[in-house]
Structure 1
Amino acid sequence: MDIKVNKRQGQLLSDTITQWQQQQLIDDQQALQLRQSYHIINFDWKLLAVYSFWIAIACFILSVILLVADDYLMALVSRLINTPASVLTVLSAILASLLFYFGVKRRQRYPQKTVSNEAMFFFGVLITAVASGFFSHTTLALHWRDSIFILLPTIIYAIVGLQLRSVLVWLFALLGIGLWVLTETSYLAQDHYLFWGMNIPLRFILVGMLIVGLSAIFKPHSRFYFAKEATLFIGLIYFFTALWMLTIFGNYDSLRAWSHVKQVELWGWSVAMFCITISAIFYGIKTNTSLIRAFGIIFLLLCLYSRYFEYFWNTLHKALFFAILALSFWGIGSRAEKIWQLGNKK
């Protein structure tokens, strides 16, 4: 069996085999066989394929957003095709269904082409959004609010993503949930910044928590376990980004009210974010959950840098600030090293 690995993975395998040899877990012949079972590729073509497809998808997303958001363009397309919006809605829905169908057939025929297969499903996602845009111009839905036309494709993405076991389609469902919550709560707030006493970042704290909780439902032997990591990722993105914004803007109902507030008055949110990120780091280390650990580290640093620019930019020398940070993290690292050594001794 010949395994293709990149340079980083190859170095890791080589170091592991060498360590096994030194510990006499394997002999020289077995080590040679293991080293001959893989070879290092100089260029990661799979990574290039992933990046290329994601760039293509991002460009398509921007294209669809600009098209659907522009009422003039949607009306112009309808006039050019000279077809009622209701007919265009039906045709778009049929086309989206066919794209999902052929995507499944292509995945069954070429199961090894995981990247391009997922990208194929994107075209179904794209046309579903277009169908929703056309539907908003029909006489039936002319007076419906905008959030409904976000909710409809979101429900479709969720059903299709879970049924077809497509991470890409499921990601769009999770992103659609966030966009729907934003538009729906903004509409219900009646042009005010607060909905049930919460501004937009505080609302997304709850959205993030709910999505993170949803990821815990997907158990290892569940049919939907494939969506666990993607769900956790989007939930953490919502949660930590919203928490970071709260440390800057607080839970105020207008930009005018926020502009009269001193940043020192928002220290409670900063303390909360500091405690939560530290807890996330320790939880990620304890449970070996790299995603939670990475989010904890990234947003802890983001929180510290943000507080520095808010409180100490004009008062504390830059070198002194970073020296204090270095000493504090050195202390944390030393303590962690002692705990690790005690664990090894046991």
Structure 2
Amino acid sequence: MNIDREKAEFLDEMIDYWQQESIIEEETAKKLKSSYETKAFDWRKLAQYSIYIALACGVFALGSLLIDDEILNFIYQIYDAPNYVISLLSFAIAAWILHRGNKRRIILPKQQFTNEALLFIGVMLIANGLAYLGKSFQGNTDRYSTIFLMAIPVYAFLGYFFKSRLIWAFALFSLGAWFGTESSYLSRSNFYFLGMNYPLRFVCFGAILTALSFTLKNIKKHQFLFQTTYFIGLLYSFSALWLLSIFGNFASIDQWYQVNQIQLFAWALLSISICIITLFIGFKFKDEMAREFGATFLIINLYSRFFEYFWDSWHKALFFFILAISFWLIGRKAEKIWNLEFLKK
């Protein structure tokens, strides 16, 4: 069996550890090590990065086409067409691409990245179609939340129908975009909605989405949506919580500039406390995602506080020296864990 280098190193270390602890004999260890081989090259990663680069190059190619005068004139002619025509054309192409992508997933399930790339292109075309459909209905109005609202059921249905976590993720991002734009519209663009600025309201939004994700976990036919919903809910919550620790519940940058950093200490303490609690929950219930979010954003929060409190008051040489020492200690600890030294007596 051919496996990745990282997995082979891990298995080697575990087998050596079992042999040292007399759990297995030397002959058994040799037999286990001979049962697998290290891949000479990780083709899976090459395929993944190549598909991503291809999508990026496609975007750049499109940008380059827009510089050409002949292409621009052709696009202007297309844009003279009614919005609903462009919308229907986008939906038609998207439907064909999604059909092809889903068919490939059934026939060629191992070509995961190519299949997901096709679904991604289809999703982008749906977004374009919804945008023009919204323009045809709304005219010159600036209430963009309607477009995001239309996208939610479309992406949710397609994500569930195609069993695609990627499309389901777009449904959740559309839901977040709708919530942000609609709450801004209802607050008449004064940056507060029910007394909350953007970071605080998205902390609440992410917490609700995270809680709702567990209802998907408890329904067997919806369980494949749990991890994506859980991840995006935590992403909303912790990203907004980190911004809240920096800006507090202030409505504008002008108000924020007028306050001292110590006045934001309560928000910073709340953010750090939630990270620690999430990290503890992750370890206690063996929840890897909660553990990683808690640990990652705890480090981000601590370093953010370090920059806030000491950037202006400390000499820059001392500042970066302490920063270097801290990262070195984190690297040493991570290296020990990676080398499984915590298993040794």
CA distance in 1, matches of 2:58, 2:200: 31
1:185-264 matches, cutoff 5 A: 185-219=183-217, 222-264=220-262
Q: Which runs of 5+ in 1 are unaligned?
A: 66-72, 334-346
Q: Give % identity.
A: 35
User: 1:290-321 CA distances to partner (integer Å, 9 max, x unpaired)?
Assistant: 22212212211221222122223344574799
Q: CA–CA distance in 2 between the matches of 1:117 and 1:320?
A: 45
Q: Which residue of 2 aligns with 1:116?
A: 114
Q: 1:258 to 1:60 in 2, by over 3 A?
A: farther
Does 1:53 pair with 2:76? Answer: no
The alpha carbon displacement at 1:109 in A equals 0.7
Kept in 1, the 8 Å contact 2:94–2:121? The answer is: yes
Partner of 2:293: 295
Query: Structure 2 regions of 5+ residues with no counterpart?
Result: 64-70, 334-345
Aligned residue for 1:197, secondary structure, equals coil
Shift of 1:153: 2.0
1:308 corresponds to: 306
1:53-93 superposed Cα distances (whole Å, 9 cap, x missing partner)? 3344467689999xxxxxxx999846336532222222221
Residues matched between the structures, number: 321
Q: CA offsets, 1:278-298, max 9 Å, x none?
A: 111111112222222122122
Contact 2:3 2:38 in 1 (8 A): yes
* Residue aligned with 2:37, SS: strand
RMSD, aligned CA:
3.4
Change over 3 Å in CA distance of 1:21–1:321 after alignment to 2: closer
Task: Return the alpha-carbon distance in structure 1 between the equivalents of residues 60 and 223 of structure 2.
Answer: 30
* Residue matched to 1:342: none
Residue from 132, 138, 154 that aligns with 1:141: 138
CA 314–86 in structure 1, closer or farther in 2 if over 3 Å, else same:
closer
Alignment of 1:20-169 (within 5 A): 20-23=18-21, 25-28=23-26, 30-57=28-55, 77=75, 79-80=77-78, 83-138=81-136, 140-142=137-139, 145-169=143-167
Distance 1:321 1:270 in 2: 24
Amino acid corresponding to residue 270 of structure 1 in structure 2: A
3-state DSSP class of the match of 1:196?
Answer: coil
* Change beyond 3 A, Cα 1:159–1:41: same
SS at match of 1:216: helix
Pick closer, same or farther for the CA change 1:216–1:300 going to 2, 3 Å: same
Instruction: Give the whole-Å Cα distance in 1 for the aligned partners of 2:43 and 2:312.
Output: 48
Which residue pairs with 1:279 in the alignment? 277
Q: How many angstroms does 1:197 deviate by?
A: 0.7
TM-score (norm 1): 0.81
* Cα distance in structure 2, aligned partners of 1:11 and 1:191: 55
Q: Deviations over 1:160-197 (max 9, x none)?
A: 11221112111212222222222111111112111111
Preserved contact between residue 311 and residue 319 of structure 2 (Cα < 8 Å): no
Look up the SS of the partner of 1:37 in the other structure: coil
Deviates more, 1:80-89 or 1:91-100: 80-89
